[in-house]
Structure 1
């Protein structure tokens, strides 16, 4: 039998949709035409781009699964707490790989907002006399005069963020000092469609509407170190790094509008393999699992293909089929999977008004831990600080055992190509500010000034402040502190009064928005009843 069938422990992996009571219904997904996944997940929460009035918003919800800690109703109320703060639609969100309660959002208003989720944020949902309380951002960054299309956290350095803007540039941020970007990556001549870090965060791959595939060393300069022709079609392309391998995968379209998946070698950006999938029109969203499995989910499809990557070739495993087409999708971090059920991956699918979990399971009967299908997963412990990353340090990702939760420092088998410039301090240019020197622990953190771009408050690491305006500066460990001048008492009182007034006005405005949304829902329901009555008569 082995002469004709390739041996693989993942050959019988199957997708299993969750029961209806473990899904989330009545989800109002954004109608924005911008091409993103619409949904993102951490180990505890999910974020969904929301269709809301009064500017841009997205929803923050606990994970819909049988193992969730929060007992939310299957069907959401018509009005729920939202993460408001953008003045235009939210285009993308991303959760920190090192903090399951920290999420960042980018919108058409050019702003980047950071949000911290409290553990008790979902208590009392749907109960009698329950009043929704919107989430408040803990930090705001003026990212671009144009829209922010994608946001992406660094995989190993704590609080390092990349953002792609309508200026066709990618900016790197240290979230503790957000007045200026730490670096700007240029060279794109059209809209940036996707970006991805490698497993150690030393390289970044991007796809662009100009049909080019680019490879950057984010700390070596502003220009790409590799550029090659990507997919020939003009429609959306995506890129994903294939774990710790020296390869990347892209999805796109041929000149004849065939949907394709391609594998590239990063040393020279040589195309190793291109596979034609079909002739559908939806963008294909790629997702990588460290089991060497590539998942492909097409927008507008109900199916999810998955392939095993072995010996520089893609081998088709199977296909999850569903009659309901997906608008967006994300995958759960592997450290949060249910290993007792032999679950090697879990997707969250947005279909209509429903968020549906889909578990990918290896069918095995043994109750013991299956070490061969559960390699160590990236841990929530960062490998280095933002200052260490921008000063040139490289560190492999910390890994966690899915058997006992033990965290170990891993050694990566990936190393950049010799032709790729080594990581150095960012080059100084007119558009790229020079990085600040790494501060020693004995130096106190700078005082925070309230600006459009403001430093990350200490509440981001601990708990969110009650006030949406007053925030504390980042804390720093120091042996000796320089005494700071105390503000005048009258000025402090005036600021507190102004803060209280603005907070009250904000709450009144949000209450008015909720009432208007309820009225709109009532009008829609009346219109539907009237239409049905006319049809019956």
Structure 2
């Protein structure tokens, strides 16, 4: 049994000093079970309601109250996701029903950013979920309170595929490593595996007894 003992078992966490931490990040008070903070190798992002801040990872310490924000949505930001292919690109979904893709300058924001690279308008009601394809460039999945998943080419703004398999709100979604399959959790307590190109349902199972939100897969 000794071969199953982790070689990291003696490691201990060390609390960083205040000078190495980010302070005064705004956090949304909207009652939605979603991503409110996201980090990639370049930036730290924090949702503060209808806008969000993006700061370079190396910029630590207190954040000024007048620090510029990304504020192009007409409602509360519900979900955010950094592109796995470009560290300067981030996608957001909002209560205004629109998913937007933003380009963040290398040095961070020096002034408020209100214009997105592309607006993806389809969902009726809220746009609750944004998810990048792990291997296909510029492919984004959005989910809304209309119980549908939309697959987009964000380079052209074109709607590529509509997945209307779910009878209730989709809480969460995740691709497998190469993007050939998509797994979702839904308010109806079912876990589903889909083929994203065709929308074919490959399998399903009850994942939880209750209908509480299940994020992330």
Give the TM-score, by structure 2 length.
0.92
Q: Are 2:39 and 1:44 equivalent residues in the alignment?
A: no
- Unaligned residue ranges in structure 1 (runs of 5+): 123-131, 241-537
Indicate conservation of the 8 Å contact 2:168/2:186, yes or no.
yes
Q: Are 2:56 and 1:62 equivalent residues in the alignment?
A: yes
Could you say if the C-alpha distance between residues 217 and 73 of structure 1 is closer, same or farther in structure 2, counting changes exceeding 3 Å?
closer
Q: Which residue of 2 aligns with 1:160?
A: 139
| Larger RCO: 1 or 2 (CA < 8 Å, sep 6+) | 1
- Unaligned residue ranges in structure 2 (runs of 5+): none
Could you say if the C-alpha distance between residues 186 and 10 of structure 1 is closer, same or farther in structure 2, counting changes exceeding 3 Å?
farther
Q: Which residue of 2 aligns with 1:94?
A: 81
Q: Which residue of 2 aligns with 1:237?
A: 214
Q: Which residue of 1 aligns with 2:112?
A: 134
When the two chains are superposed, the root-mean-square deviation of aligned CA atoms in Å is: 1.8
Q: Are 2:204 and 1:227 equivalent residues in the alignment?
A: yes
1:128-184 deviation per Cα after TM superposition (whole angstroms, max 9, x unaligned) = xxxx61023222121312111110111111111011111111110011221x41011
1:57-81 deviation per Cα after TM superposition (whole angstroms, max 9, x unaligned) = 1111112xxxx2xxx3511111210
The equivalent position to 1:8 in structure 2, one of 3, 6, 16, is 6
- The correspondence of residues 3-402 of structure 1 with structure 2, limited to 5 A, is 6-51=4-49, 56-63=50-57, 68=58, 72=59, 74-122=61-109, 133-135=111-113, 136-178=115-157, 180-221=158-199, 223-240=200-217
Deviation for aligned residue 1:9 = 2.6
Q: How many residues align?
A: 216
Could you say if the C-alpha distance between residues 30 and 156 of structure 1 is closer, same or farther in structure 2, counting changes exceeding 3 Å?
same
Q: Which residue of 2 aligns with 1:288?
A: none
Distance in structure 2 (CA, Å) of the matches to 1:25 and 1:224: 45
Could you say if the C-alpha distance between residues 23 and 189 of structure 1 is closer, same or farther in structure 2, counting changes exceeding 3 Å?
same
Deviation for aligned residue 1:12 = 3.5
Indicate conservation of the 8 Å contact 1:203/1:217, yes or no.
yes
Deviation for aligned residue 1:186 = 1.8
Could you say if the C-alpha distance between residues 17 and 181 of structure 1 is closer, same or farther in structure 2, counting changes exceeding 3 Å?
farther
The structure where strand makes up a greater share of residues is: 2
Give the TM-score, by structure 1 length.
0.39
**Which protein is bigger by CA-based radius of gyration?**
1
Deviation for aligned residue 1:28 = 1.9
